[in-house]
Amino acid sequence: MIVEIGSINVDYIIHNRRLPVPGETIYGKGVTIMGGGKGANQIAAAARLGAETVFLSKIGGLDHYNDIVMDDLKWANVNTELVETVPDVYSGSGYVLVNETGQNSIIIIMGANGEITPDYVDKNKACLDKAKICMVEFMIPMETCEHAIKTAKKQGIVTLVNPAPYSPIDDSFYPYIDIITPNEIEAADFCGFAIDDEQSASEACSFFHNKGVKNVIITMGSRGAFVSDGKKRMMVESYKVDALDTSGAGDSFNGGFAYAYWKGHDLFTAAHFGNAVASLSVQRLGTMKSMPTLAETEQVMKLPAL
């Protein structure tokens, strides 16, 4: 089983030919409202592929769009029995501007995600008893991320941390992370230098390994993912596609990777699979509802079933 402790957002996706510059007002082509949030997207991607999942998160009692979010999670076959409603706040939200080439700018409001506390994790930690992987991302309070990962690690569960959006990590946290999956911008924020090729990506991997992280995956957009297990390092190339909307690309990679790793595949094979999932996701509009099925992913890979 894969357990995700992460965010739920109501996503407002605005489509237009280009993104506005500061101080400019422009008309958009249209808006789509759908479920999102990095935690919800990642666990939805894994569940759509067939993983057994449990999602720990919270929604806001004031929000009028919770049915959309919960219906999207149900569509993906995510177990949401432990998701709680917080009265007197709105659900987390994401405001996504997407241009005609699929590039995006995003503003996130934490909302009910800020109420995902260590106590909430402790109250529901029985779900970790059957888990093989525990995933977190940084759209929830950092103290909760750290507590969740330390709790899972102490129970012998593989810990997967997607450190997005970037937030500093205390040195005591790193050794509890089995797999960390920043993109090149987030990795640069941690390391203090630009990551724009395989050499700099390898140096970034060394930074994380020296901090105590066992495995490092740096996602690098259309170039693929640079992967290191501490001994072997290589670029796992992406699938070349025409992107329609890159929103949620990293989330789809993480969910796809987690699924393949849950199925017993090694770090590099799982990253290859994650790239295939992401390549399908970016050819569709939106985030959670863009996640592909296992059959669709296998067709892209042209490999035996995982």
Which residues are part of the catalytic machinery? 251
CA atoms within 13 A on the CB side of 62: 8
Q: What is the distance between the terminal CA atoms of the chain, rounded to a whole angstrom?
A: 16
Instruction: Report the C-alpha gap between 210 and 206 in whole angstroms.
Output: 6
The phi and psi torsions of 11 (rounded to 5 degrees) equal: -95, 130
The sign of the torsion formed by the CA atoms of 149, 191, 95, 241 equals negative
DSSP assignments along 172-229, one per residue: TTGGG-SEE--BHHHHHHHHSS---SHHHHHHHHHHHHHHT-SEEEEE-GGGEEEEE-
Cis peptide before 165 (omega within 30 of 0): yes
Structure letter (DSSP) for residue 61: T
Burial class from Cβ neighbours inside 10 Å (0-12, 13-18, 19+) for residue 30 reads: exposed
Q: Which single residue is written with the structure tokens 């919270």? A: 58
Closest among 13, 12, 11, 16 to 28, alpha carbons compared: 16
Strand partners, 56: 5
Edge-to-edge strand ranges of the sheet holding 92-98: 30-36, 9-15, 92-98, 104-109
Instruction: Report the C-alpha gap between 216 and 228 in whole angstroms.
Output: 5
Structure tokens at 43: 């666990």
